[in-house]
Amino acid sequence: MVNQKRVNEIINEIKPATLVAATKYASIEDLYELEKVGVTIFGENQVQSLLEKYKNYNGKSKFHMIGTLQTNKVKYIIDKVNLIHSVANYRLIDEIDKQSKKHNKNMDILIQVNIAKEDSKHGFLEEELDDVFEYLKNKSNLNPRGLMIMAPNIDPEKTDIYFKKAKELLNTLKNKFSNYNLTDLSMGMSNDYQYAIKNGATLVRVGSLLFE
Ligand SMILES: *Cc1c(COP(=O)(O)O)cnc(C)c1O
């Protein structure tokens, strides 16, 4: 069940950043409840679950892909999402561009960075980012909007350095690649979103905290 009061508080607390409600715990009824209290974006981390929700939800809010995405599944979601947060390797870049061309659309993407160099996490290393954004120049149907990170699962107070690092990386890229409109930082989850906001997050992916 949606904790409407808490959702409201978070929406106001993170302003001007936008809440991306991570909906892996949500039912279709929950989606309508979330919409009612002002949630405009649902973030899904699984293709199957996104397709089901997309099919059964007829409201106004939009879907983002926020989780690990396999190359062979891009074709199923390309016409259903407004932003893909989790672009984590070159094959995905190629495939999203290819499928976007097929659908005659420009796809907004974020480049996922493995900010703490964890074996358990996907994403490019910060050292690769210059090459990645060079590479994107030849992908005419992709619209890079910024970076996405997941902080390590540690004491939230210690996540600060990773969010700060992400902000610095985005600023550096903004200067080097002024051909793009790099404005977005997708970071922060239920346990650490306050630290993400403090360091300039524009999209905050909160899930469990929104539900009873
Ligand atoms: C589930 C999920 C979140 C939200 O996590 P909570 O701890 O439930 O807030 C954020 N990002 C991704 C990619 C997720 O899968």
Supply the pLDDT for residue 16: 97
Ligand 1 nearest-atom number relative to CA 205: 10
* Contact of 113 with 123, CB cutoff 8 Å: yes
Q: From the CA of 207, how far away is ligand 1's center (Å)? A: 5
Positions of the chain with pLDDT lower than 50, given as ranges: none
Compute the residue count for the chain: 212
Supply the pLDDT for residue 11: 98
Mind listing the domains of the chain with CATH numbers? 4-210 (3.20.20.10)
* Contact of 3 with 37, CB cutoff 8 Å: no
Contacts 24+ apart (CB under 8 A), 120-125: 121/150, 122/68, 122/86, 122/88, 122/89, 123/88, 123/148, 123/149, 124/88, 124/89
The residues lining ligand 1, judged by C-beta closer than 6 Å to any ligand atom, are 22, 24, 45, 66-67, 189-190, 205-209
Supply the pLDDT for residue 38: 97
Supply the pLDDT for residue 96: 98
Ligand 1 nearest-atom number relative to CA 67: 13
Supply the pLDDT for residue 174: 98
Angle between helices 28-36 and 47-56 in degrees, nearest 10: 70
Is-above-0.95 flag for pTM? yes
Work out the mean pLDDT of the chain and round it to a whole number.
Answer: 97
The answer for residues whose C-beta is within 8 angstroms of residue 66's C-beta and 6 or more apart is: 20, 22, 43, 44, 45, 85, 86, 148, 186, 205
Residue bearing the CA closest to ligand 1, atom 6: 207
Supply the pLDDT for residue 171: 98
Supply the pLDDT for residue 102: 98
Q: What confidence tens digit (pLDDT) does each residue in 138-166 have?
A: 999 999 999 999 999 999 999 999 999 99
Q: From the CA of 178, how far away is ligand 1's center (Å)? A: 31
Supply the pLDDT for residue 73: 98
Q: What confidence tens digit (pLDDT) does each residue in 192-211 have?
A: 999 999 999 999 999 999 99
Supply the pLDDT for residue 69: 97
